[in-house]
């Protein structure tokens, strides 16, 4: 072989050239999604909200991407076995998730979490409600009485926004801020800013479709400017899904259980008779509740020991800090939780 030093050097040049090309190619791909802000007739927040309230889409099917960056450690392995309800709930708070949603009228809905090779779904077909877990091969069934809405029914985005706004109006600046594109559709941006600066929430930004007036994306921005939580449609189709989408029959071999009426759903908070004390209101509400550290299992207490210690006139405890929520677990068995700075939590603990 007569390859000298030059040839070796040239190889690296080719490697670098290929790398540069790859980067250029991907930049080209990602530019596709970065479109200029569309020009839409301006709307005040009130007008936009009215349109959202009146929106009656015949139905749609959409895919949403959910991202969380709360500064929490990965919770896999904490809180029970894989596929557990609590596990599912906790896992929603970390990492990225893909959610498929189908909606047709008020009483036909299907929401499916499609991560990895599993699927967890809630399907409402008229008065029939099914909860399906492919991981456990388990179907849970409930019958909904007419006019009654169980807590487990997936809330439509329209409803969610309406409820949110009614609750936050006194404590929040609501503005419309420009336009944007979500899932290839022009959207209005509705921005909610907490009036109290002690809140860890910097802004909540909701993107509303400019023709159908259905929310397509929501972002919770922490006060340090980072995206703490975001849900955004990656594709959406405003044609009514076929009825077969909402039909569910448990497959053979699956475990089928009947759910008790929603009254049973409140068993968790009432279990040990503790009711949280609420200090403050609006965005800076702090909940103080009892929590017996000695009852915590090994994993939880080990986790607790790894948290930084804090103390003050209110006592002594440990601080769990995330981008959106802070919590203080005191040694005398109390927990204060709120989307506020730790100082507010200490104040709430001091008031007893």
Partner 1 sequence: MSAAEVSVRRRRGSFGRLFASEVHLVFGRRRNQVGLLVLFGLVTMLGVALKVSAMRHPGDRGGDLFSLVAGNGVFLGFAGLTIEIALFLPLAVSVLAGDAVAGEANLGTLRYLLVAPVGRGRLLVVKACALGVGALTGAVLVALAGVLVGVLLFGAGPLITLSGSQIGLGDGLLRLLLAALYVAVGLAALGMIGLFISTLTEQPIAATVATAMVSTLLWILDAVPQLDWLHPWLLVDRWSAFIDLLRDPVFTDRMVTGLWVDIAYGAVFLFAAWLRFRVKDITS
**Which residues contribute to the site for partner 1 (CB under 8 A)?**
1-3, 7, 11, 14-15, 17-18, 21-22, 25-26, 29, 63, 74, 83, 95-96, 98, 100, 112, 114, 116-119, 121, 132-139, 234-235, 245, 248-254
Q: Name the helix (H) or strand (E) containing 300.
A: helix 298-305
Residue 307 CB, shortest distance to partner 1, in Å, is: 20
The rounded distance, in Å, linking the Cα atoms of 131 and 110 is: 10
Residue 125 CB, shortest distance to partner 1, in Å, is: 13
Residue 232 CB, shortest distance to partner 1, in Å, is: 13
Residue with tokens 């804090």, as numbered in its chain? 310
Contact 207, 183 (CB under 8 A): no
Read off the tokens for 275: 């009711």
Pick the closer one to partner 1 by CB: 28 or 170. 28
The rounded distance, in Å, linking the Cα atoms of 123 and 125 is: 6
Q: What angle do CA 18, 20, 21 make, to 5 degrees?
A: 65
Pick the closer one to partner 1 by CB: 17 or 86. 17
Residue 113 CB, shortest distance to partner 1, in Å, is: 11
Residue 246 CB, shortest distance to partner 1, in Å, is: 12
Pick the closer one to partner 1 by CB: 133 or 330. 133
Pick the closer one to partner 1 by CB: 33 or 351. 33
The rounded distance, in Å, linking the Cα atoms of 323 and 321 is: 7
Q: What angle do CA 18, 22, 23 make, to 5 degrees?
A: 120
The rounded distance, in Å, linking the Cα atoms of 300 and 302 is: 5
Residue 233 CB, shortest distance to partner 1, in Å, is: 11
Pick the closer one to partner 1 by CB: 7 or 58. 7
Pick the closer one to partner 1 by CB: 119 or 159. 119
**Helices assigned H by DSSP within 67-219:** 85-91, 157-168
Pick the closer one to partner 1 by CB: 131 or 279. 131
Q: Which is nearest to 279 in space by CA: 344, 198, 202?
A: 344
42 torsion bin: left (phi>0), alpha (psi -120 to 50), beta (else):
beta
Residue 294 CB, shortest distance to partner 1, in Å, is: 32
Pick the closer one to partner 1 by CB: 124 or 334. 124
Q: Give the chain's radius of gyration (CA, Å).
A: 24
Residue 311 CB, shortest distance to partner 1, in Å, is: 32
Residue 309: strand pairing partners: 318
Contact 210, 184 (CB under 8 A): no
């Amino acid at each position: 072989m007569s390859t000298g030093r030059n040839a070796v050097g040239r190889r690296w040049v080719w490697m670098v050239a290929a790398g540069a090309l790859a980067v250029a190619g991907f930049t080209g791909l990602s530019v596709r999604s970065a479109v200029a802000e569309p020009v839409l007739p301006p709307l005040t927040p009130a007008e936009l909200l009215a349109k959202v309230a009146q929106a009656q889409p015949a139905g749609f099917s959409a895919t949403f991407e959910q991202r969380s960056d709360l500064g929490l450690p990965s919770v896999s392995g904490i809180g029970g076995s894989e596929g557990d309800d609590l596990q599912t709930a906790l896992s929603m708070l970390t990492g990225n998730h893909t959610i498929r949603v189908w909606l047709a009228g008020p009483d036909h809905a299907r929401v499916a979490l499609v991560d990895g090779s599993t699927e967890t779904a809630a399907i409402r077909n008229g008065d029939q409600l099914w909860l399906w877990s492919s991981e456990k091969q388990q179907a849970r069934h409930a019958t909904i009485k007419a006019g009654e809405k169980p807590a487990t029914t997936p809330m439509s985005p329209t409803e969610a926004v309406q409820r949110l706004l009614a609750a936050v109006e006194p404590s929040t600046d609501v503005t419309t801020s420009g336009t944007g594109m979500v899932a290839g559709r022009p959207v209005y941006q509705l921005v909610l800013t907490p009036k109290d600066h002690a809140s860890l929430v910097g802004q909540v930004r909701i993107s509303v479709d400019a023709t159908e007036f259905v929310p397509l994306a929501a972002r919770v921005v922490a006060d340090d400017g980072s995206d703490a939580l975001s849900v955004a449609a990656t594709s959406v189709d405003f044609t009514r899904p076929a009825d077969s989408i909402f039909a569910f029959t448990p497959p053979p071999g699956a475990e089928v259980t009947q759910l008790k009426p929603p009254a049973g759903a409140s068993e968790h908070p009432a279990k040990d008779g503790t009711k949280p004390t609420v200090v403050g209101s609006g965005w800076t509400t702090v909940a103080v509740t009892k929590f017996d550290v000695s009852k915590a299992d090994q994993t939880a207490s080990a986790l607790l020991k790894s948290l930084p210690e804090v103390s003050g006139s209110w006592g002594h405890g440990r601080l769990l800090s995330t981008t959106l929520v802070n919590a203080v677990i005191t040694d005398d068995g109390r927990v204060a939780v709120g989307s506020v700075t730790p100082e507010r939590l200490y104040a709430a603990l001091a008031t007893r």
